[in-house]
Amino acid sequence: MATEPQRVAMVSVHTSPLEQPGTGDAGGMNVYIAESAKQLAARGIEVDIFTRRTTADVPVDVDLVPGVRVRHVTAGPYEGLSKEDLPGQLCAFSAGTMHAGLSLPEDHYDVVHSHYWLSGQVGWLAADRWRVALVHSMHTMARVKNGHLAEGDSPEPPGREIGEVQVVEAADRLVANTEDEARELIELYAAQPAKVSIVPPGVDLGVFAPGDRAKARAGLGLDPAADLLLFVGRIQPLKAPDVLLRAAHRLVAQDPARRRTLQVAVLGGPSGSGLSHPHQLEDLAVELGIGDLVRFVKPVARPVLADWYRAADLVVMPSHSESFGLVAIEAQACGTPVVAAAVGGLPTAVGDGGVLVPTHDPADWADAIGGLLDHPLRRTVLSRKAVRHAAGFGWEATADRLLEVYRRALDDHTHSPIDEGQGLAGVPRAVIP
């Protein structure tokens, strides 16, 4: 009989589930951690989420919902550190996590579930010290991102690749969003196939659901007759919002009459390498001569985000790399077709509820978008398929699959290589925090 977990320690070093997704380092991973933790709590499992404290105003412990506690760990200055600075704070974060655990019984947690490679380094140590199983979710991988860099974007450093290799080898179980991600773990990181489990992310079908488009547009102050293209996400080269703007420019150049109806909304904030030029996208819109057609919107709460999805004719995702693409599922749950790049997990997320574009050439994107704008009946068919496709991705299903991963990790758990005093994958132990 499988061992049932009772208490789970999640680790999310660089971003908190309390933060607003869409800007800085907050994105789909925040949503994943928060929603999966809530579902686990609904099943009677206690979840503690360890994350770095970034402001003195937040309490040390915050209850997200009954059964889910966010525990803030001090590691470095509260503000002014980017994600790239955090490897230097992993020892401090690990020490803070261990200190928090001193007040708990030795066998308090059953599983440590780390998210992203920084958390994997801490989770590896925590799981070893607490003598429990380690489950790890990569969310993104350096070797995948470096193989799909946007023009002018900076590659992920070798130190991240080394850290990822270490965590892959140390984890009892690895969680992949899609079959493609599972294959990448095996082929690029030499993960043992038996350790990899596929658990697709979910969507809150109570919040993201079809609704009245006219009402949504009225509430958001949008033209009821516009052809509205929507981008949702962090503004950085990896997400390629510039491709959408260049495609919109091309559509107007090909047919000047579109200028009367075409509108583009970019909902999100600067992130990653986009922080070095926070107004670059606005400048590009002006340079392309479509500044009057583009509206920039700061990240919004989920009920308002759902209205933006309902208001849009198409949601556009030109990303160079996506481990899954929660935006696609959220949009489709609201009945809005998605035009997405054929990369990473997007083919799985989009399914038959949208169109995939095989390149990042703005001409190809203009053709795909224009073809759908000019054929409302085709959009209607895609809308129905989108809702049906998204219905299979509720967070309840995600939590059920995670529970099965935890059970297997508990049953198969053995001591990590730390116990043997050895480095991983030829990396000396001296580099392991």
* Cβ atoms of 174 and 152 closer than 8 Å: no
In sequence order, the 6+-apart residues with CB closer than 8 A to the CB of 105 are none
Residue 4 among known ligand-binding residues: no
Q: How many helices (H) and strands (E) does the chain have?
A: 15, 14
- Is 20 annotated as belonging to a binding site? yes
55 in a known ligand binding site: no
User: What is the token pair recorded at 74?
Assistant: 């001090």
Please name which of 30, 73, 19, 23 lies closest in space to residue 270, comparing C-alpha atoms. Answer: 23
Q: Any known ligand binding at 234?
A: yes
Which string of DSSP letters, residue by residue, matches 221-283?
T--TT-EEEEEES-BSGGG-HHHHHHHHHHHHHH-GGGGGTEEEEEE--B-GGGGGSTTHHHH
Residue with tokens 């020490």: 95
Give which of 301, 315, 328 is closest to 241, Cα–Cα.
Answer: 315
232 labelled binding-site residue:
no
Is residue 336 annotated as involved in ligand binding? yes
29 is annotated as contributing to ligand binding: yes
Cα dist. 62→17, 26, 50, 70, 278 in Å? 11, 18, 11, 5, 31
| Sign of the dihedral through C-alpha 240, 155, 84, 127 | positive
Give the pairing type, strands 262-267 and 294-297: parallel
Q: Confirm or deny that 309 is annotated as ligand binding.
A: yes
Residue 22 marked ligand-binding: no
**b vs e for 46-62, b when ≥16 Cβ sit within 10 Å of the residue's Cβ?**
bbbbbbbbbeeeeeeeb
**159 marked ligand binding residue:** no
**Any known ligand binding at 345?**
no
The one-character DSSP state at 424 is: B
Cβ(305)–Cβ(330) below 8 Å: yes
Angle between helical axes of 376-390 and 326-333 (0-180°, round to 10): 110
Q: Is 156 annotated as a binding residue?
A: no
Q: Is 388 annotated as a binding residue?
A: no
| 239 assigned to a ligand binding site | yes
Binding-site residues from annotation: 14, 20-21, 25-30, 83, 116, 140, 160, 234, 239, 300, 309-310, 312, 322, 330, 336
Binding-site residues from annotation for UDP-N-acetyl-alpha-D-glucosamine: 20-21, 28, 234, 239, 300, 322, 330
Binding-site residues from annotation for 1D-myo-inositol 3-phosphate: 14, 25-30, 83, 116, 140, 160
Binding-site residues from annotation for Mg(2+): 309-310, 312, 336
